[in-house]
Amino acid sequence: MITVALPKGRLLNDFMEYLEKQGLEHYSTGLDAKSRSLYTTVNDVKFIYAKGRDVPIYVENGSADIGIIGLDIITENEFNIMNVSRLPFGECHFSICGLPGVERFRTIATTFKNIAFQYFKQKRQQVSLIHLNGSVELAPLLGLADGIVDIVETGSTLRANGLIEYEKIMDVHARLIANRQTFYTKEDEIYPFLKEIGVFE
């Protein structure tokens, strides 16, 4: 049996929509967990529902053989995993955002401190970075920071809070990741699954 780590939230919904479009309802309905159970098994494939940030940790340690994760998470932190391929969903991007009328960003709130640090370093722009765990859009509204570096997907969170995008930093999409050992030792099980879901030829 192989174990697939999935990130709870938006990316899981995107993956289920993708499976549905591929006509793989047995997987999409099987994954549509209504209970609080953190795993499910479909066709001898065990799926675990993890926090997005923890997906690469389960894969790195071999608790999961493969995983689905946003490029944001594996760009922000380094993991000893195989970054196998791009998946055709989960498109969004990182931007610098703030209230209208900011002339120069001095303090930036973000959950992605390394991505923000690299970006401003490369622009040779000095800013203070404040780490927040989520809902970073609050920071400029409360005067904690004059800008944020955050993920924008539909733009509705920004609009709802009167914020605008100043500059796009990088594109993000979903990635297939794999454990460095079991991707080969369990290839007889992993490849047919990836082929079935249309990820590999």
Smallest separation (angstroms) from ligand PRP to the CB of 40: 22
Smallest separation (angstroms) from ligand PRP to the CB of 154: 3
Smallest separation (angstroms) from ligand PRP to the CB of 198: 26
Q: Output 13 or 83, the one with its CB closest to ligand PRP.
A: 13
What DSSP character marks residue 79?
Answer: -
Q: Output 112 or 193, the one with its CB closest to ligand PRP.
A: 112
- With residues binned 3-state (H G I as helix, E B as strand, rest as coil), the percentages for the chain, rounded to 5, are 35, 30, 35
Tokens describing residue 161: 């809070």
Q: Output 41 or 135, the one with its CB closest to ligand PRP.
A: 135
Q: Output 8 or 46, the one with its CB closest to ligand PRP.
A: 8
Nearest CA among 94, 64, 114, 90 for reference residue 175: 90
Tokens describing residue 159: 């609009």
Smallest separation (angstroms) from ligand PRP to the CB of 69: 13
Smallest separation (angstroms) from ligand PRP to the CB of 111: 6
How many whole angstroms separate alpha carbon 137 and alpha carbon 148?
7
SS3 138: helix
Q: Give the CB-nearest residue to ligand PRP.
A: 134
Half-sphere exposure of 136 (CA within 13 A, CB side): 26
What DSSP character marks residue 20?
Answer: H
Q: Output 92 or 190, the one with its CB closest to ligand PRP.
A: 92
| CB-based contact 128:104 (threshold 8 Å) | no
Residues that bind ligand PRP (CB under 6 A): 134-135, 137, 150-157
